[in-house]
Amino acid sequence: MLRKITKITNLLVAMVSFMSIVPANAAEVKKIEATEGTIYSGYAKGNGIYFTGEINGKDEAAYYISEDGEYHKIDGLDAGYEATNLLINKYLVLDDDNYVDLTDNYKALNGNITEDLEDEAETIVRKKIRADNDGRFDKSSYDGSKIIEATMEGSAKFLSGSNGLAIYDYTLKNPGINKTKSTIYSDLKGNYVDADYNLGSLKVCTTSDSVIIKNTEDTYEIKDNTKAYELKAELKEKKYITSVANTIYRYADLTIYRKEKGADDATYVPVTNELGFGKNGYNVTSGDSVTVLQKFLNEPAANDIDGIKYSKNSSIYFIADEDGNKEYLLGRSAADAVAKVGAATGGKAKIAGSTQALYGTYLDVTNKKIYSETLNLKSKNGFNYIDIGDYDSSDTDTLDQIPTPNGLACFLDDGYIKIWDGNESFVKLYKVDGAMDDFSISTKNNLIVWTEDDGVYSVIHNITKATNAETSADSTGTTAVTSATDNSKTTITGWIQNTDNTWNYILDSGTKKTGWLNNNGTWYYLNSEGTMQTGWINDNGTWYFCNTSGAMLSDTTIEGYQLGSNGAWVS
């Protein structure tokens, strides 16, 4: 019975979320049959798949499966080329001098298009900085700033090939205490922000006082017992992590300085390790500076700093738990993975994200093992920290990459494609031929898996298309799905994921299930449009709670609210 409508409404706002993960126990693991054919290389990106090989008795060639499910033979392209990236959702990158234009009849192109676009992006942002600058940057940097080299798979300098995100250093006209440059993040269109200015609301305290530091330009007064001090913060670029839509995540070094107010010979000295952060004054570093995780929007605030745009929303998170204790992140580095789980050095660490959370993964190449965990950015008593969920580990046949569709680590293991569930464990996504030893995936519904030695492969493309389509080439070289298993004529039943990452359950009749669904003993709730719901659910005045995988909870307490054996809120 609903007793406190205001309280539960506030709780709903705080807790309801939608996760694009496979619902736990939602359906039997789908078995994908293998098709005869030799695949040399495959690359799934966005809603399409590029691959090279010999299929249906044809000579070796390069193909691209477009979003509509059609197979396109790429003329004039040697089948030895592997794809490495998709640039601004237009150009398929093969190497520095070979591309495929996906918007112009899948033409093979020569020339370094990536470098040309990087130069164009640099020119655009420089012109905008020159026009906006009103004293923040030294004019000499207009001609001297160069795009920072960034090491990223499939990219030379762009941090993100999908939107041309890149970072630049510009020289400050008035250098800081220990800082001469500021870092600009900009996309291909020149939409930029100065990432080193906005700190959000960083609460800093002494034993007797506290203050909120909002940016790296102003000074802030604070008392420590009987003395008054001026505080100043500086933020320096350390490493780009990932971006989701317009939200960017990076590591940065934060340093807090102070000098005694009014003293003639006072100079700023680093005191990061002497101060506390948040209401309870957590101490999080033993050095002059501390590495933090910054989350900010690549959207400008209404105001500017000396003409230069800065992020309208930025927050600093300490790599610590809610009590200020140091945390190790599996996806941060091999050193962190070694310290946390005893993994071997020399592996690959990666943090990826979705709109719901960040996910850290470490691939232990030596022991053929993969680890994952979910990272939620939270705040308690004015202290921003990282809430790390339980990690899981698994053996894996995939040793050279960490695919992360929608941020979730995905890998091949003993005939199964497995994926991080966004919570605390790996789940089986598909059952494939046990001989398969390589795959590429961009979404759960768009992947190719194969074994070159045994001459078999499988394609899963947007669910509604044939999963293992045989193809036939017409006179133009374009191939079309002709398999009898073309699902445009066959009803798909069970759970399906939509392009917006929501979930529906399709009945045998082909209609969407609505209301409560009992699937393998687990209850799920689908709204009137057939979309699976998570969080608090009001069903005719009775409240229930479904976790991030959609499963209804029972016999437990959520944020102080007790759920009965039937899942209903009882008190």
User: Which stretch, 15-19, 325-329, 476-480, 525-529, has highest mean pLDDT?
Assistant: 325-329
Last residue of a domain, one of 430, 455, 486: 430
My answer on whether 134 and 196 are in the same domain is yes
Predicted pLDDT of residue 469: 38
Last residue of a domain, one of 318, 352, 382: 318
Predicted pLDDT of residue 102: 94
pLDDT(470) > 50? no
Predicted pLDDT of residue 376: 94
How far, rounded to the nearest angstrom, does the alpha carbon of residue 275 sit from its chain's CA centroid?
A: 32
**8 A C-beta contact, residue 341 and residue 363:** no
What is the 3 state secondary structure string of 220-265?
A: EEEEECCEEEEEEEEEEEEEEEEEECCEEEEEEEEEEEEEECCCCC
Average pLDDT over residues 118-147: 84
Last residue of a domain, one of 430, 454, 475: 430
Could you identify the residue written with the tokens 């090939």?
A: 161
Note whether residue 444 is domain-resident: no
pLDDT(237) > 90? yes
Q: Which residues make beta-bridge pairs with 171?
A: 181
pLDDT(148) > 60? no
Predicted pLDDT of residue 212: 96
d(CA 360, CA 8) in angstroms, rounded, equals 32
| Residues above pLDDT 90, as percent of the chain | 58
Residue 245: Cβ within 10 Å count:
11
Note whether residue 42 is domain-resident: no
Banded model confidence at residue 8, pLDDT cuts 50, 70, 90: very low
Banded model confidence at residue 151, pLDDT cuts 50, 70, 90: very low
**8 A C-beta contact, residue 289 and residue 254:** yes
d(CA 61, CA 51) in angstroms, rounded, equals 9
My answer on whether 535 and 406 are in the same domain is no
Q: Which is nearest to 177 in space by CA: 209, 119, 217?
A: 217
My answer on whether 256 and 360 are in the same domain is no
Helix (H, G, I), strand (E, B) or coil at 128: helix
My answer on whether 273 and 363 are in the same domain is no
Banded model confidence at residue 13, pLDDT cuts 50, 70, 90: very low
My answer on whether 233 and 339 are in the same domain is no
Predicted pLDDT of residue 226: 87
| Residues above pLDDT 70, as percent of the chain | 87
User: For residue 477, what are the CA distances in angstroms to 76, 109, 116, 253, 360?
Assistant: 11, 17, 30, 54, 42
Average pLDDT in the chain: 84
My answer on whether 363 and 405 are in the same domain is yes
My answer on whether 290 and 147 are in the same domain is yes
My answer on whether 354 and 258 are in the same domain is no
Note whether residue 463 is domain-resident: no
Higher pLDDT among residues 477 and 463, named by residue: 463
My answer on whether 334 and 314 are in the same domain is no
Specify the CATH number for the domain of residue 512. 2.10.270.10
Higher pLDDT among residues 118 and 13, named by residue: 118
Note whether residue 49 is domain-resident: no
Note whether residue 286 is domain-resident: yes
pLDDT(154) > 80? no
∠ CA(372), CA(333), CA(295), 5° rounding? 80
Number of domains into which the chain is organized: 3
My answer on whether 194 and 291 are in the same domain is yes
Note whether residue 484 is domain-resident: no
pLDDT(135) > 60? yes
Higher pLDDT among residues 204 and 550, named by residue: 204
Asked which of 161-175, 221-235, 375-389, 493-507 is least confident by mean pLDDT, the reply is: 493-507
Structural domain harbouring 402: 330-430
Q: Is the dihedral of CA 147, 153, 159, 161 positive or negative?
A: positive
For the stretch 398-418, pLDDT in tens is: 888 899 998 999 999 999 999
My answer on whether 265 and 380 are in the same domain is no
- Alpha helices (runs of H) in 246-400, residue ranges in sequence order: 334-341
My answer on whether 152 and 289 are in the same domain is yes
Predicted pLDDT of residue 39: 96
Note whether residue 84 is domain-resident: no
Note whether residue 452 is domain-resident: no
